[in-house]
Structure 1
Amino acid sequence: MKIRRIAATAVAAAVTAPALFLSAVPAFADTKPATGASQTVDAPIEQLELAVKAAQAKYEAAVAAHTKATADALVILKDEKHPLAVAAKEALQASKDAAAAKTAADAALATADAALADAEKALAELSDEATEEESTKAKEAVDAAKVKAAAAKTDADAAKVTADTKAAAATAAKTDLANARAAAFQTISAAEKNMDEAKKALDTAKKALADAEKALEGDDCVVDKDLSTSLTGPSKIAPGSSGVFTFRITNKGTTTFEEVGGGAVAFRTDVWSDDLKVSWSSVNSPKWQPVVLGDEEEEGGFFSSGAKLAGGKSFDFKLKVDVNSKATPGEGMVMGFGARVSADGSCGEATEYSQATFRIGKPAKPGSGNDNGTNGGHSDNGSTGGSNSGNGNSTPQGGTSTTPVNTTSSGSLANTGAGPSALPFALAGGAAVVLGAGAMVMVRRRKAGMGA
């Protein structure tokens, strides 16, 4: 059934949403929203299109990097004119020349030593009958041989030092070239890995978009401009406590909705963590129930009024955000998505979702769960919504309201700019895909009830 497929697609997208939308961060504003600021994000399909565009750009950049790395490596590996290759070749030749010079010096030393030995032998073999002139001449020959031998020894020692130095230089140059070639291979490998990962991310983004578009083909669930939402609540929640937000769904039209509801999610916008949990209640469902977005069969992941909503009226849900006692100070966000079901079984989704930011930190006063101030956002042309004392009270609340619809300025996203502060918007994009499944669950339950 079409509805089941859409729900499955939306929930499946939740698994890949963080990676997809973080890859699309450059499409969002680089200004971090202040706590309490109203923000809106475009429809999930548009977010998926942005994710595909960003993933395509990353893939193209990865391909270009791989191409450059390969070209650079080929130069180092094959080009004999590369500076390192030239240096290695020259150093090797210098080492060979020095080795040859050392060999020649050693040969000269050997010759000088042999001449000295011969001169000393001749002197020793002089007979007692040798004249003084012969004796003097033999001694002078020995002295001259000693001088030559000493000079040859000096030359040989110097040649050895030079040969050793040149050999070390040749080894170093050879090592530099080998290291550069190894680094080139590593660069190619890393670039290839990045290219493969970018391709997988692109394929995942394209599949998510294709699945979402296929799921929406011919479906009767539409964006309903008469359906608006608002979200208000505390501006600070202390670790180990909870904050209660009011999520209001307003029927701005004249036709009565058979049922309204939606989904919600809370997360940290500064770090990845599971510090935040959300539960909901209303006047018709006073018991707190967890909001866990998972398999489409887990209908407890979405909430419903279980009652009609007349035109011009509102229905309030309470969203309780529990903060882990070990959570570190930082920033958090809770978002709610509204949907409705009409008498004919058709469904509609709010144009945008509502979100509220809050600080995670110590309470203002000992014993208090969170600040008493309120903050929140709304969908376009939505109601400012109900207020909440922000005392962390866990008593379920809710109900309908005839509060007039007040038109206020909604936040918007810039087309350029990026930075670490864009994390909330990236996460929000993924959540929007998930929350769209709420309308499908309501329709499925409504149709099942009608057929019983």
Structure 2
Amino acid sequence: MKIRRILATAVAVAVTTPAALLSVTPAFADAAPTAQTQAKPTLEELEKAAAEAQTAYDKALAAKTAAYQVVEDAMSDTAPLTVAAEAARKAADEAGAAKTAADQAVTDAKAALDALPETATEEERTAAEAAVTGAEATAATAADAKTAADTKAEEAADAADDARVAALRAYSLAEKDLTDALDAKTAADDALAEAREEANENQDCVAEPGLTSVLTGVPNSITAGTITALSLRVSNGTDKAMDDVAAYAFTHATDTSGLKETDRLLRLQWSTASSPKWHTIGGDHLINGIGPLKAGAHADIKLRLTIDASAPAGNGAAFVSADYTNENGSCGGNPDIAMYDFGVAKAAKPKPGKTDGTDPGKTGTTGTGATGTGTPGGSGPSAQGTASSNPVTTGGSLASTGSSSTTPQLALASGAAVALGAAAMFTARRRRTGTRV
């Protein structure tokens, strides 16, 4: 969903976008594309096309099934043309046998005529000659009958073969038609699915103040080379269930001048009861260990902030937010990005010849996460991280910067940009394709 990508980049935009852009933001809202593009089919048109493609596919499948049955029938020994061809073949065989017998009768009659003795009477010789003539006539008739039977058998066999070939060709065409229908159906289904996904992505997301993100355990100051335990609670304070909730967290730091950013020296990680391994929060700023939240429910996430020992003294802030998406495509999130500021103290250099036996990168934990008490590397943490929290509203104004003396330079460097990022995020959330906010 676009809501996720927007929220994932909103904080990054907030700390990298110059405050001067605040003056030109309305131009983006009023901008309209000048290029003329061909109108895309509507969702209803794609649904109709998908339904028609499904109907065509069903018909093609039925046609292929019927064609296969024709092939089965044509190949069967009981097929009418096959039966007729078999009968014609038997008749031809019988005609051939009759001709063979008739030819033998001619041979026998001629042999009898040739075997008449010199003393044979005229009547005997006439009878023998008549027998030869009769046998030859019968043989000629048998030969004609065999020729006709052979022709009929060949034609019947060709008819049966032609029927089989025609059935196979029809089946092949039906198979191709089914393949084409399936391709068309797949294309129509894919186009419809893409349009539905796009419709879900481009639908309005709503501001939901009831979805809150509260970070606790943020001290007033964190010493470089230490690890600070924090706790993030995301609460669904509404009367409706949220199918998929995601949290986002980001840290930003500068030196004391506020001009040199030191983000690369900060590392933020998260862990939950269901996913106890520590996960480093990447460039998308996403914490995906929440999932669904029922109305009134909350989820607790452990965070730990590691500041490299080489980090200079300066100012820092942690930003948290949350959004939700539902299976029906609705979405939303809290309109505020909460900001929690803290100072960064330079790591103390150990005196020569002395060591405290600790590893700044692994010990010296500041804060306890849930309560924010006890900070070897920090100084004077707020009990629940609220004294230094500064929710940034989409209206472009910042809340009180708190009591930290290091806050003003950070606020000058990024506070206005944070407001811009939040406003841009919710402008994009509420924009549909081809419309204006």
Q: TM-score, normalised by structure 2?
A: 0.42
Select the structure of larger CA radius of gyration.
2
| Structure number with higher relative contact order (C-alpha < 8 Å, ≥ 6 residues apart) | 1
